[in-house]
Structure 1
Amino acid sequence: MGLPRFSRPKGVDGELSPNLYVANCGPAVGLSFDTIASVFSTFGEVKGVYPADDSGARVIVSYFEESAAQAALKALDGHPCPALGGRFLHIRYSIFQPPSQVNDSVPVSLVDSELNIPGIYLLHDFVSAKEEEELLAAVDKMSWKSLSKRRVQHYGYEFCYEVNEYPPGVGLSPHIDTHSAFEGFIFSLSLAGPCIMDFRRYTEGVWPKSASSSDMSVEYPDKSSSFLRRAIYLPPRSMLLLSGEARYAWHHYIPHHKIDMVKDSVIRRGPRRVSFTFRKVRTGPCQCEFPQYCDSPR
């Protein structure tokens, strides 16, 4: 079950509510949810503390009673809070959004067997901490090519993005690596920082007519299409293998977040994440069992 969702207040005072939007407060500024709940519980029973967005510096404090929220807002808004390191909190009321108004979140798996997607394998601690350090040092000695939001290094064919560097909050749009360009397995080694990788399988064929073998991937279809969805946590030094159905029929992507929720725990992405991606260039037409996702001529 996903965490409850709340709307960010739009007015100065907002609408009276048992839920408070609290800025300058959260894991990104060194305050745990337990610490925040303990401080706010002096005004009444706290139902829960939740991330307000992906920043890690804003939270929702949810009370059982509106009177408790009102008392907390009056006492803490715009004043230094000694119990929270003297921070000045900026507080407004927040409104709970019923499930019909938001997209349902998906549970994040820690191991590949929980995904129920044939062909996905995740190996933890594939390299040691020392090997990770040596690999990062090696790539940092080489030249990077800047894209719109991340940097890459190429080995082999130019469109083979063999090394990708992701700054905090930068992800990857949903895509399937083109069938006509690459054959066999796809390996991805995560270094330096963690992330969440999502997988979607759409119910209809998705390959656009304009695709060609020079494209690395194609981002299709639009968000209105129906799909199955899964997600897995990729810790540093882990190796992800995509094969079979997972490689040829499921879109994969990395959400653009600075923090991720994993089993109700907040995981903040590191200052960088470097992905070593290994693919084999195809020399003949694709003969996969998923023609509705395939761009290769039959």
Structure 2
Amino acid sequence: MTFFKEFRVNKAPAAAYYIPEFITTEEETHLLHEIYAAPKPKWKELARRRLQNWGGLPHPKGMVAEPIPSWLEQQIEKIDALNVFGEKRPNHILVNEYLPGQGIMPHVDGPMFYPTITTISLGSQSVLEFYTPLNSDEETERTRRIGSLLLEARSLLILQEDLYTFYLHGISEVTQDTLSQDIFNIEQCTPKLDNVIKRGTRISLTIRHVPRVLKAHLMFGRGRK
């Protein structure tokens, strides 16, 4: 299935696809319930947000695969049906919680993952900013910024090609978003230009494929003859 290509964001560099209402409100409520019902040790506290890893902990040397619960497998199956990972199947989900005013520094996801990002947003909208790489100390985030994408609750975002390998992406630490002409997908969204939207708590499900997976017995030296 490649119907997702109908949702190409034409104003963005190659390549972004944005599908509003990818999941239902019932699915959103169920996912949020399960995320917050997870055992406390599942959460990892960072300086500006907290997160959960499902499927294993990605590492340059390889990921030791862990079981993924059925409530997340349902979303993996939906993503897998889009064929955005080619013949690969998603095997890792990163859950990020962003409170109003929280964000993430500009970054690239790098070679540990298949070069595709799929992200489902829950609870609240956010704006994902894009930047060119830093070439000199005189450059700032403002001068490097090329535009952004509005991520509405229940939407799916797919990033591939240059938007995965070349441009950096990040979320500004603000409590509200002002919708302007430089939002690449504004015409595909419900809110329109010049609207100011307050952020609530947003949960993102970043669903990816980790190519290098280790067997647990190899990682820990078990099962040797």
Relative to the length of structure 2, the TM-score reads 0.63
Report the equivalent of 1:188.
Answer: 119
Paired residues in the alignment total: 158
Q: Which amino acid aligns with 1:138?
A: E
- 8 Å contact 2:115–2:165 — kept in the other structure? no
Q: Which amino acid aligns with 2:148?
A: A
Pairwise CA distance, 1:200:
1.1
Which whole-Å deviations, capped at 9, do the CAs of 1:92-123 have from their partners, x for residues lacking one?
xxxxxxxxxxxxxxxxxxx8635331111111
Which of 191, 194, 205 is residue 276 of structure 1 equivalent to? 205
In the alignment, the residues of structure 1 paired with residue 120 and residue 138 of structure 2 have an alpha-carbon distance, to the nearest angstrom, of 27
> What aligned pairs does 1:163-182 form with structure 2 within 5 A after superposition?
163-179=95-111, 181-182=112-113
Report the equivalent of 1:156.
Answer: 55
Report the equivalent of 1:229.
Answer: 146
3-state SS of 1:202 partner? coil
Report the equivalent of 1:214.
Answer: none
3-state SS of 1:178 partner? coil
**Could you say which structure has the larger radius of gyration?**
1
- 8 Å contact 1:115–1:231 — kept in the other structure? no
Report the equivalent of 1:197.
Answer: 128
Which of 120, 144, 163 is residue 16 of structure 2 equivalent to? 120
Pairwise CA distance, 1:234:
0.8
> What aligned pairs does 1:1-298 form with structure 2 within 5 A after superposition?
113=9, 115-143=11-39, 144-159=43-58, 162-179=94-111, 181-202=112-133, 204=135, 223=140, 227=144, 229-262=146-179, 263-270=193-200, 272-283=201-212
Relative to the length of structure 1, the TM-score reads 0.48
* TM-aligned CA distance change 1:140 to 1:225, over 3 Å: closer
Which whole-Å deviations, capped at 9, do the CAs of 1:202-258 have from their partners, x for residues lacking one?
374x9xxxxxxxxxxxxx996279535111111100111011111111100111110
- Larger strand percent: 1
3-state SS of 1:126 partner? coil
- 8 Å contact 2:9–2:18 — kept in the other structure? no
Q: Any unmatched runs of 5+ in structure 1?
A: 1-110, 207-219, 285-298
- 8 Å contact 2:131–2:141 — kept in the other structure? no
- 8 Å contact 2:93–2:208 — kept in the other structure? no
Which whole-Å deviations, capped at 9, do the CAs of 1:247-281 have from their partners, x for residues lacking one?
111100111110110121110001x1000011211
The alignment yields a C-alpha RMSD, in angstroms, of 2.7
* TM-aligned CA distance change 1:147 to 1:226, over 3 Å: same
